[in-house]
């Protein structure tokens, strides 16, 4: 039995979808704990491609229970479209549960998100425009609508009438937008409520019950460590806590019940939206990584910014999340390169800095200090064990593991499930603390 958290160790889009899909096979319950329809992964089922933003991909396994936890924000319109897509494929959605305490994204959240981004001009964050920040802001301001409010028709009418009139002042006076019609929004959301009612439960209780029955639970993080509201590159972050600690808060599970934390990182780095990115590559190399890695966002289609692997933020992710091991994805994207750089430290004002600076201003001033490694210039996409890898590729992985002082348990070399090297069992293999006590650097990559 193991309860495992999977998080993104960079700025999101690390390929968590594939890794959680791999691990979902041995999970009884998959729980999403934060974020909303800003996240997204592409799934191919029965030759048909579709995108999921909220529902964990574990829904495709008939015996896996999927839970959308309390720390998420739910856009019911998008969620219902996802349910429709899945059901059209003949796949049951009866194993989905939604936390009654999750907050609901309303039309005014989307409008305010988009209008405020426009108003920010040069100071924009580059949000996905899906209303995520304003939904979480209302949660903190205690004016939010929760799933359980949605289920109470009369209460919802009263609450929404007041809230929409209040939001209309902001829409009209601050952003020069037309007001929303309260009755129209209320009717629309009452319709959503009826469709979603069968799924809405006390999710924390369900998860606790599953833990007591010694079920295997996978807590699936969306976005990544550097987009965390508290620990990321603020203000260029999302409005929730993608870090491992967010899994406890976002599901109502105590930290003593977590057995493992697995971090997912690309073999290079990408970022969508605004904000500092020390190892960003302009020109041909950046384009090459973007096209070989198909680096376009699932939710917005935006082109991702690409750069070299940054071990400073990698080490930071190991620390902030207490990572037991790493999954390195998209190693094959580097196949053609003659040489590969890894940022080992930063230089700020002429001084070497080994740690991620918490100030965004300082982070903007960071110049990467690189170590250059030879490339392998041959395809790795058919490698299925460490022994199959070219020596330089193995050296590259060992170098990353040593820099970040955490073992690499999984290496991914392509989108399909079999393009994966399992170095050691990420769930039942030795925990990080034990590997440290051993003191052997070599053991950081191989079991
Ligand atoms: P928001 O979450 O839409 O408010 O956007 C805030 C920042 O997080 C922006 O830089 C987005 O590009 C980024 N972001 C949000 N969701 C994702 C994701 O799933 N992958 C990568 N970046 C994301």
Residue with the nearest Cα to atom 9 of ligand 1?
127
Residue 65 has pLDDT above 80, yes or no: yes
Which ligand 1 atom minimizes the distance to the CA of 129?
Answer: 3
Q: Is the CB of 38 under 6 A from ligand 1?
A: yes
The per-residue pLDDT for range 367-409, each reduced to its tens digit, is 999 999 999 999 999 999 999 999 999 999 999 999 999 999 9
Residue 279 has pLDDT above 50, yes or no: yes
Other C-beta atoms lying within 10 Å of the C-beta of residue 184: 11
pLDDT at 447: 35
Q: Is the CB of 12 under 6 A from ligand 1?
A: yes
Query: Is 436 marked active-site?
Result: no
Residue 50 has pLDDT above 90, yes or no: no
Q: Report how far residue 411's alpha carbon sits from residue 402's, in angstroms, rounded to the nearest whole number.
A: 15
Residue with the nearest Cα to atom 8 of ligand 1?
238
pLDDT at 437: 39
The band of 62, judged by pLDDT with boundaries at 50, 70 and 90, is confident
**From 13, 228, 324, 332, the catalytic residue:** 13
Q: Is the CB of 28 under 6 A from ligand 1?
A: no
Indicate the top mutation candidate among 273, 296, 299 to test ligand 1's pocket, ranked by most ligand atoms within 8 A of CB: 273
Residue with the nearest Cα to atom 1 of ligand 1?
127
pLDDT at 431: 67
For 58-81, what is the mean pLDDT?
A: 95
DSSP, collapsed to helix, strand or coil, labels residue 107 as: helix
Ligand 1 centroid to residue 424 C-alpha, Å: 31
What HEC string does 158-169 produce?
Answer: HHHHHHHHHHHH
Q: Which of 359, 105, 115 is nearest to 232 (CA)?
A: 359
The pTM (predicted TM-score) of the whole model is 0.95
The band of 130, judged by pLDDT with boundaries at 50, 70 and 90, is very high
Other C-beta atoms lying within 10 Å of the C-beta of residue 124: 14
Ligand 1 centroid to residue 63 C-alpha, Å: 31
Q: Among 49-58, 221-230, 316-325, whose mean pLDDT is lowest?
A: 49-58
* Residue percentage of the chain with pLDDT more than 70: 96
DSSP, collapsed to helix, strand or coil, labels residue 239 as: coil
Contact status, residue 116 vs residue 92, Cβ threshold 8 Å: no
The band of 43, judged by pLDDT with boundaries at 50, 70 and 90, is confident
For 9-37, what is the mean pLDDT?
A: 94
pLDDT at 60: 86
Query: Is 103 marked active-site?
Result: no
Residue 435 has pLDDT above 50, yes or no: no
Which ligand 1 atom minimizes the distance to the CA of 300?
Answer: 12
Indicate the top mutation candidate among 127, 246, 301, 306 to test ligand 1's pocket, ranked by most ligand atoms within 8 A of CB: 127
The per-residue pLDDT for range 91-112, each reduced to its tens digit, is 999 999 999 999 999 999 999 9
The band of 441, judged by pLDDT with boundaries at 50, 70 and 90, is very low
The per-residue pLDDT for range 311-343, each reduced to its tens digit, is 999 999 999 999 999 999 999 999 999 999 999
Indicate the top mutation candidate among 10, 15, 38 to test ligand 1's pocket, ranked by most ligand atoms within 8 A of CB: 38
Mean pLDDT of the chain: 93
Q: Which residue has the higher pLDDT, 297 or 341?
A: 341
Residue 438 has pLDDT above 60, yes or no: no
For 344-356, what is the mean pLDDT?
A: 95
Q: Which of 162, 212, 208, 218 is nearest to 185 (CA)?
A: 162
**From 28, 41, 231, 310, the catalytic residue:** 41
Other C-beta atoms lying within 10 Å of the C-beta of residue 167: 24
Ligand 1 centroid to residue 237 C-alpha, Å: 7
The per-residue pLDDT for range 303-317, each reduced to its tens digit, is 999 999 999 999 999
DSSP, collapsed to helix, strand or coil, labels residue 427 as: coil
Residue 208 has pLDDT above 90, yes or no: yes
Residue 346 has pLDDT above 60, yes or no: yes
Ligand 1 centroid to residue 428 C-alpha, Å: 32
For 160-206, give the DSSP string: HHHHHHHHHHIIIIIT--PPP-HHHHHHHHHHHHHHHGGGEE-HHHH
Instruction: Retrieve residue 138's tokens.
Output: 């209302």
The per-residue pLDDT for range 261-272, each reduced to its tens digit, is 999 999 999 999
Q: Among 13-27, 210-224, 373-387, whose mean pLDDT is lowest?
A: 13-27
The per-residue pLDDT for range 163-203, each reduced to its tens digit, is 999 999 999 999 999 999 999 999 999 999 999 999 999 99
pLDDT at 237: 97
191: CB partners within 8 A, 6+ apart: none
For 378-410, give the DSSP string: S--TT--SGGGS-HHHHHHHHHHHHHHTS-EEE
Q: Among 28-32, 277-281, 357-361, whose mean pLDDT is lowest?
A: 357-361
Q: Report how far residue 157's alpha carbon sits from residue 163's, in angstroms, rounded to the nearest whole number.
A: 10
Q: Is the CB of 128 under 6 A from ligand 1?
A: yes
Ligand 1 centroid to residue 239 C-alpha, Å: 9
Indicate the top mutation candidate among 227, 235, 277, 296 to test ligand 1's pocket, ranked by most ligand atoms within 8 A of CB: 227
For 282-296, what is the mean pLDDT?
A: 94
Which ligand 1 atom minimizes the distance to the CA of 132?
Answer: 4
DSSP state letter for 82 = H
């Amino acid at each position: 039995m193991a309860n495992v958290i999977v998080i993104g160790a960079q700025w999101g889009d690390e390929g968590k979808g594939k890794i959680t899909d791999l691990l979902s096979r041995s999970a009884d319950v998959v729980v999403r704990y934060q974020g909303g329809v800003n996240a997204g992964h592409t799934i191919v089922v029965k030759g048909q491609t579709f995108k999921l933003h909220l529902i964990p991909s574990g829904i495709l396994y008939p015996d896996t229970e999927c839970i959308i936890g309390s720390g998420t924000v739910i856009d019911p319109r998008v969620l219902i479209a996802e349910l429709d897509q899945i059901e059209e494929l003949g796949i049951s959605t009866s194993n989905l549960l939604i936390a009654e305490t999750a907050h609901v994204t309303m039309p005014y959240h989307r409008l305010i998100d988009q209008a405020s981004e426009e108003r920010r001009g040069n100071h924009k964050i580059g949000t996905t425009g899906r209303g995520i920040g304003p939904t979480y802001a209302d949660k903190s301001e205690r004016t939010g609508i929760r799933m359980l409010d949605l289920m109470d028709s009369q209460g919802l009418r009263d609450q929404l009438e007041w809230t929409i009139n209040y939001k209309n002042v902001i829409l009209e006076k601050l952003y020069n937008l037309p007001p929303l019609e309260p009755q129209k929004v209320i009717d629309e959301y009452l319709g959503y409520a009826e469709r979603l009612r069968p799924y809405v439960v006390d999710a924390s209780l369900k998860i606790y019950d599953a833990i007591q029955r010694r079920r295997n639970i996978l807590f699936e993080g969306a976005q990544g460590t550097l987009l965390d509201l508290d620990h990321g590159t603020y203000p260029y972050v999302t409005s929730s806590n993608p870090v491992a600690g967010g899994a406890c808060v976002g599901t109502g599970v105590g930290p003593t019940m977590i057995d493992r934390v697995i971090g997912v990182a690309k073999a290079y780095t990408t970022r969508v939206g605004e904000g500092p990115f020390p190892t960003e590559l302009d020109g041909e190399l950046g384009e090459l990584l973007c096209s070989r890695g198909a680096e376009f966002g699932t939710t917005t289609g935006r082109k991702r910014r690409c750069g070299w692997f940054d071990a400073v933020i990698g080490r930071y992710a190991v620390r902030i999340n207490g990572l037991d091991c790493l999954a390195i994805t998209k190693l094959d994207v580097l196949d053609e390169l003659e040489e590969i750089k890894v940022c080992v430290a930063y230089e700020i004002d002429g001084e070497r800095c080994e740690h991620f600076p918490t100030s965004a201003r300082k982070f903007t001033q960071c110049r990467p200090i690189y170590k250059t490694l030879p490339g392998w210039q041959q395809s790795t996409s058919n490698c299925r064990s460490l022994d199959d890898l070219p020596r330089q590729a193995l050296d590259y992985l060992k170098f990353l593991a040593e820099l970040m002082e955490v073992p690499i348990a999984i290496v991914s070399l392509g989108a399909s499930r079999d393009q994966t090297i399992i170095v050691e069992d990420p769930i039942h293999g030795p925990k990080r603390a034990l590997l440290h006590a051993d003191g052997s650097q070599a053991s950081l990559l191989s079991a």
